[in-house]
Amino acid sequence: MSLTVVGSIAFDSVRTPFGERERMLGGSAVHFALAASFFTDVHVVGPVGDDFGEKHTEMLESRGIDTSAIERVEGGQTFFWRGHYGHDLNVAHTDDTQLGVFADFQPKLNDAAAQADVLFLGNIQPDLQRQVRAQCGSARFAALDSMNLWIDTARDSLVAAIGEVDCVILNDAEIRMLTGEPNLARAAKAVMAMGPRIVVAKQGEYGAALFTEDGFFGLPGIPLEDVRDPTGAGDSFAGGFLGYLDGHGSELTTAELRRAMAYGTVVASFNVERFGTERVRELTAAEIEERFRELLAITRFEERPIELRA
What span, in angstroms and rounded, lies between the C-alpha atoms of 257 and 234? 17
**Domains detected in the chain:** 2-298 (3.40.1190.20)
> CA angle at residue 97 from 191 to 238, to 5 degrees?
35
| Residue 287 CB coordination number (10 Å) | 15
What is the structure's pLDDT at 249? 64
183 to 180, 214, 271: CA distances (angstroms):
9, 19, 29
Q: What is the DSSP string of 106-166?
A: -----HHHHT-SEEEE-SS-HHHHHHHHHHTTT-SEEEE---HHHHHH-HHHHHHHHTT-S
Q: What is the pTM of this model?
A: 0.95
Please report, in tens digits, the pLDDT of each residue of the chain (310 residues total).
899 999 999 999 999 999 999 999 999 999 999 999 999 999 999 999 999 999 999 999 999 999 999 999 999 999 999 999 999 998 899 999 999 999 999 998 999 999 999 999 999 999 999 999 999 989 999 999 999 999 999 999 999 999 999 999 999 999 999 999 999 999 999 999 999 999 999 999 999 999 999 999 999 999 999 999 999 999 999 999 999 999 986 678 999 999 999 999 999 999 999 999 999 999 999 999 999 999 999 999 888 888 898 8
What span, in angstroms and rounded, lies between the C-alpha atoms of 178 and 159? 9
What is the structure's pLDDT at 240? 98
What is the structure's pLDDT at 98? 97
What is the structure's pLDDT at 248? 87
